[in-house]
């Protein structure tokens, strides 16, 4: 599975499930369980790499505004969710997290903007073996102003208004 094939799969499943995250994760799980172990591993590699690419101070600061950045699990779940928004939204969110101030206006960010999906469970079911370890960094190495509300409000005005007003 190439990176392009990864994104085609994600975008197709988003379309087929009308963007419903629960149904999306079920469809993804069923699809992965139909693949050979090497393809599941390639999917998992892309998934981990994209989560790591979203591990930036700006995305962390957005997660703090939303309410899911203070714990490592919350921030990792948020980055999984970003990947599951599809290629175009992923790239836009990572480039400018303030975009989330207008994203998915019918959902509550704290309640709906996270995913706990783990592709290693599909790998284990298909192979009967422990999955390979996928390195996903918890927090960015770079400094963040995530606990300075005045800076966050200025830096991400649309997201701040949505979540803090």
Task: Determine the Cα–Cα distance for residues 121 and 128; give it in Å rounded to an integer.
Answer: 10
Q: What pLDDT is recorded for position 77? A: 95
Which one-letter DSSP state was computed for residue 133?
P
Task: Determine the Cα–Cα distance for residues 29 and 117; give it in Å rounded to an integer.
Answer: 9
User: Contact 124/131 with Cβ under 8 angstroms?
Assistant: yes
User: Could you read off the pLDDT of 59-116 as tens digits, one per residue?
Assistant: 999 999 999 888 889 999 999 999 999 999 999 999 999 999 998 867 767 668 999 9
Length of the chain: 165
Count up the domains in the chain and report the number. 1
Q: What pLDDT is recorded for position 133? A: 82
Q: What pLDDT is recorded for position 143? A: 86
Which residues span the domain enclosing 157?
Answer: 3-164
Task: Determine the Cα–Cα distance for residues 55 and 108; give it in Å rounded to an integer.
Answer: 22
pTM, 2 dp: 0.93
Average pLDDT across the chain, whole number: 93
Q: What pLDDT is recorded for position 110? A: 64
Tell me what the mean pLDDT of segment 127-135 comes to: 88
């Amino acid at each position: 599975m190439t990176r392009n094939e990864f994104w085609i799969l994600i975008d197709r499943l988003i379309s087929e499930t009308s963007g419903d995250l629960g149904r999306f994760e079920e469809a993804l799980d069923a699809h992965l369980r139909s693949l050979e172990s090497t393809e599941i591993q390639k999917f998992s590699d892309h998934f981990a790499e994209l989560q790591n690419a979203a591990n930036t101070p700006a995305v962390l600061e957005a997660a703090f505004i939303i309410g899911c950045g203070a714990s490592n699990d919350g921030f990792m779940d948020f980055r999984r969710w970003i990947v599951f928004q599809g290629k175009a939204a992923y790239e836009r969110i990572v480039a400018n997290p303030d975009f989330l101030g207008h994203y998915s206006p019918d959902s509550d960010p704290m309640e709906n903007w996270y995913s706990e999906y783990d592709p290693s469970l599909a790998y284990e079911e298909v192979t009967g073996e422990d999955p390979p370890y996928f390195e996903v960094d918890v927090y960015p190495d770079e400094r963040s102003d995530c606990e300075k509300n005045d800076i966050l409000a200025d830096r991400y005005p649309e997201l701040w208004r949505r979540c803090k007003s």
